[in-house]
Structure 1
Amino acid sequence: MGEKKKGGIVRKLMFGVVGLFGLFACAFAGMHFVSASKLAQTVEVEVADIKVPDGSGSAIERGKYLVDHLMGCKECHGDDLGGKVIMDNGAMGLWYGPNLTTGKGSKLADYSSKDWMRALRHGVGKDGRRLLLMPSDDYVNFGDEDMGAVVAYFRSLPAVEREDKPLSLGPIGKMLVATGQIQFAHEKIDHKAKRPDAKPGPTKEWGAVLIGSCTGCHGTGLSGGKIPGGDPKWPEAANISPDKETGLGQWSYEEFVKAMREGKRKDGSAINEAMPWKAYAGMKDDDLKALWEYIKAAPAKAKGGR
């Protein structure tokens, strides 16, 4: 009787293990199907075209400044903007920032001004598919003149011959996309919203345009925390709201500038380079002041609420 009872327990355990494995297999198949469906989905958006300057010096200079120091394009597309591996690991998969130049291998080489606006302002590619990890919601408030300068600058870049690598999601990447923990920018954008009529200058209103460069990691509430879809090696984003306990509430403007230009916190400790302070180090004084004015006026929040 003892042997029979023992054998029955073993069989039950085996059935349990097989059943659990089956559940995991079904869950993985479901995640694969949902994430693949989301990536393949096409959408239509109403795109307003813009005028792109003919490549005059001032427009190119403005576009370069925006790309290098305000929009953070090189962080994902490489120093030459010819494409870059953003992340490559078994869990998340291969994530690649495409070639933005007109060189061989670039899928954006024949983009019209309207195609660029579809991507930059709406998070949608030329083929109608939504762009994953493209932070278009960070850029929606930039005006037509600045967007035109950005496109003019892209078109002026030396052609880089580099083949784009297709996105390949790993199991964790598929799960995050399937469950909506990584959102498409297209989902977060109000596509009919009116852009603020703010002019560059050291004002809170201009800061509201620039703050988009911060919200992708620190959240729209600026309170930081775990970065959705970020590299697992990245630390949590800091609280940059004016909270006095965990945020910038007790920082001075000079300390804020030091953080942005030297990568040093109030206490002198180094800021992890996952925060692209080296790009922001080139920001003009008026733009830094505008960001500071916006941050000071934002609601104070405890860390982690994003």
Structure 2
Amino acid sequence: MATLLELMLVACFLSARSEATEEEELLARGDYLVNSIVACGNCHTPRGDDHKPIAEMHLAGAFQVDRAEFTAYSPNITPDHETGIGAWSDEEIIRAIREGVRPDGTVIGPPMPIRVYREMSDTDVRAIVAYLRTIAPVRNSVPRSEYNIPLPESYGPPVDAVPDVPREDTVAYGAYVSNALGHCMECHTPLVKGAPDLSRTGLGGNVFVKPHGIELVAVSANISPHPEQGIGAWTDDEIKRAITQATSRDGRPLQPAMPFYFYEKVSDEDLEAIIAYLRSIPPQAIE
């Protein structure tokens, strides 16, 4: 018969193993999010001449976005203590992601999509932080962004607890994946004074000059379920192919403004949820 000490040791072992399993699952979730649907490297990793992210500069920043309103430089988010976020606490990183506030109290400006990241669940934002702690630190000093527009004092009240969205509710989960994680509508919805016009969600039409330094002008597509101007007549497989393989319905290659390098890793479950959400929004058309 087991002694009390033996039972206590077994309980401690099982508890430690359970915690280790939870940490492994959290890290795996963070790896998936950063390198697929959230696509952090789309802005935070510089690209080579082939327009693909430079592996040894993973999340080291310095990607530049030039617009009339600002010249923005994506910061180094590797765990380098001097030029990255290695000295930041978990809570400081979470606050930067969901509230747009750095540890020194300054506000993060566009194009960081703070408005939608505020809806990111506690589980997912902590998973992202867990993953960021594991990547190789890269020493890379990045200039501060410059803005010709006033930045908001804040993006809203402090974010408290944000629960996970049940995956059983496919449309709600798809809305979460598309917006809070993938920030799809930040590009695919017309802007009014720098903010998406939610009455025209999915209409597209935003113009991007030299996205990612590529010599082209990209216009965001209508991804609402309008049968002629949108994707209402597309099959699920055609939508999946467009997202993950950069191929339009007619076989035409899509411009590399979308982060297809990351989206090819989006899971089938998330793709199906995204499609369910896109089919649920009102059809939009330019009259």
1:146 maps to 124
Q: SS of 1:119's equivalent?
A: helix
Alignment partner of 2:85 out of 105, 108, 132: 108
1:58, 1:244 → 2: CA distance? Answer: 40
Q: Distance in 2 between matches of 1:205 and 1:301?
A: 20
Maintained 8 Å contact 1:104/1:163: no
Q: Is the 8 A contact 1:242 1:299 kept in 2?
A: yes
Superposition TM-score, scaled by structure 1 size:
0.70
Deviations for 1:24-73, whole angstroms, at most 9, x for unmatched residues?
A: xxxxxxxxxxxxxxxxxxxxxxxxxxxx9999332221101101111120
How does the TM-score come out when normalised to structure 2?
0.74
Q: List gaps (5 residues or longer) in structure 1.
A: 1-51
In the aligned structure 2, how far is the partner of 1:101 from the partner of 1:158? 7
User: Quick one: distance in 2 between partners of 1:230 and 1:138?
Assistant: 24
Aligned match of 1:240: 223
Matches within 5 A, 1:124-163: 124-132=101-109, 133-163=111-141
Q: Who is 1:64 aligned against?
A: 31
Q: Is the 8 A contact 2:206 2:220 kept in 1?
A: yes
Q: In the alignment, which of 167, 178, 181 is matched to residue 211 of structure 1?
A: 178
Q: Match of 2:128, as an amino acid?
A: V
Give the counterpart of 1:98 among 64, 75, 100: 75
Please say if residues 54 and 152 of structure 1, whose CA atoms lie closer than 8 Å, have aligned partners that are also in contact.
Answer: no
Report the Cα distance in structure 1 between the residues aligned to 2:163 and 2:123, rounded to whole angstroms.
13
2:84–2:140 contact (8 Å) kept in structure 1: no
Alignment coverage as a number of residue pairs: 241
1:201: Cα distance to partner? 5.8
Residue identity opposite 1:70 in structure 2 = I
Work out whether residues 53 and 59 of structure 1, in 8 Å CA contact, stay in contact via their aligned partners in 2: no
What are the residue-to-residue correspondences of 1:1-306 with 2, within 5 Å?
56-78=23-45, 79=53, 80-87=58-65, 94-132=71-109, 133-169=111-147, 174=148, 177-178=149-150, 186-187=154-155, 195=162, 197-200=164-167, 203-212=170-179, 213=182, 214-219=184-189, 220=198, 221-227=201-207, 231=211, 233-303=216-286
Distance between the aligned counterparts of 2:107 and 2:21, measured in 1?
29
Change (3 A) 1:211 1:196: farther
Cα shift at 1:266: 0.7
Percent identity of the aligned residues?
29
- Report if the CA contact (8 A) 1:223-1:238 is conserved: yes
Q: Note the aligned Cα RMSD (angstroms).
A: 3.1
Name which of structure 1's ranges 119-128 and 267-276 shifts more when overlaid on structure 2: 119-128
- Superposed displacement of residue 295, structure 1: 0.5
Q: Does structure 1 conserve the Cα–Cα contact (< 8 Å) formed by 2:122 and 2:161?
A: no
Return the letter of the residue paired with 1:157.
Answer: I
Change (3 A) 1:233 1:202: farther
More helix as a share of residues: 1
Shift of 1:127: 1.9
**Structure 2 spans left out of the alignment, 5+ residues:** 1-18, 46-52, 190-197
**Inter-CA distance 71–234: structure 2 relative to 1 (3 Å threshold):** farther
| Cα deviation code 1:126-161 (max 9, x no counterpart) | 222221121122323222111111101011111111
Deviations 1:271-304 (A, max 9, x none): 1111112211110000000000001010111159
Residue 236 of structure 1: how far off its partner (Å):
1.5
Query: CA offset at residue 202 of structure 1?
Result: 7.6
